[in-house]
């Protein structure tokens, strides 16, 4: 990798690829916090998979990561969280669930971060970024699930997609549409984002 550190002694500023070193360290630290939240929040559902599928507690930290630490880190948080949680506690099962979720959540972090940084800061831009990310992530989840099920010699039908992406998770979707914008808009107001 061509990550390099440029040290400018005159101003005592440290940068990594043009970004202030302090900001980079903050983003890395916050990314770790979001991953930890993604691992811990599902314990609120008692690690009951059917309840987790309904409430989607792992999704919220990833969506917030995209808004707060932007797309590069949001993408990594989304990919790492389900895979690490699967490795640590066995939930979600690695194949096919955690792998498909890694793609889905990675898209959440990527799209929220990209759109939010491209759009003018407003309440509507938060909702646009969130909704587009949620739809994009679910589409990617469906495509990846189709291929993973195919590799396992089973079929992934349109009914399975609709049930998994929308019907079973409607409560979690509503929670995300309420909670994430409230947090992001508050953080905007106090100047954290």
HEC string of the chain? CCCCEEEECCCCEEEECCEEHHHHHHHHHHHHHHHHHHHHHHHHHCCCHHHHHHHCCCHHHHHHHHHHHHHHHHHHHHHHHHHHHHHHHCCCCHHHHHHHHHHHHHHHHHHHHHHHHHCCCCHHHHHHHHHHHHHHHHHHHHHHHHHHHHHCCCCCCHHHHHHHHHHCCHHHHHHHHHHHHHHHHHHHHCCCC
> What does the pLDDT read at residue 8?
38
> What does the pLDDT read at residue 49?
75
> What does the pLDDT read at residue 10?
38
What's the Cα-to-Cα distance from 148 to each of 78, 80, 153, rounded to whole Å?
A: 19, 18, 9
> What does the pLDDT read at residue 56?
95
> What does the pLDDT read at residue 121?
87
Measured between alpha carbons, how far is 95 from 74 in angstroms, rounded to an integer? 23
Domain extents for the chain?
20-189
> What does the pLDDT read at residue 9?
40
Residue 22's φ and ψ, nearest 5 degrees, are -60, -40
Residue 7's φ and ψ, nearest 5 degrees, are -105, 120
What pTM, to 2 d.p., does this model score? Answer: 0.89
Measured between alpha carbons, how far is 149 from 151 in angstroms, rounded to an integer? 5
CATH of 20-189 given 1.20.140.10, 3.40.50.300, 1.10.1760.20, 1.10.3720.10? 1.10.1760.20
> What does the pLDDT read at residue 1?
40
> What does the pLDDT read at residue 132?
99
Residues of the chain predicted below pLDDT 70: 1-19
Measured between alpha carbons, how far is 71 from 150 in angstroms, rounded to an integer? 30
Centroid of chain to Cα 118: 18
Residue 91's φ and ψ, nearest 5 degrees, are -130, 130
């Amino acid at each position: 990798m061509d990550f390099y550190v440029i040290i400018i002694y005159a101003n005592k500023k440290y940068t990594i690829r043009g970004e202030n070193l302090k900001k980079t360290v903050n983003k890395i630290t916050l990314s770790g916090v979001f991953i930890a939240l993604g691992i811990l929040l599902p314990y609120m559902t008692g690690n009951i998979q059917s309840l987790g599928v309904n409430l989607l507690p792992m999704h919220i930290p990833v969506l917030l990561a995209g808004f707060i630490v932007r797309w590069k880190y949001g993408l990594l948080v989304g990919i790492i969280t389900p895979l690490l949680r699967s490795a640590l506690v066995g939930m979600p099962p690695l194949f096919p669930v955690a792998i498909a979720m890694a793609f889905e959540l990675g898209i959440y972090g990527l799209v929220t971060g990209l759109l939010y940084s491209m759009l003018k800061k407003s309440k509507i831009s938060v909702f646009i970024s969130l909704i587009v990310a949620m739809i994009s992530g679910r589409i990617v989840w469906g495509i990846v699930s189709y291929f993973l099920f195919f590799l396992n010699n089973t079929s992934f039908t349109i009914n399975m997609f609709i049930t998994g992406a929308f019907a079973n998770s409607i409560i979690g979707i509503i929670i995300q549409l309420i909670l994430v914008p409230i947090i992001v808009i508050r953080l905007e107001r106090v100047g954290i984002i």
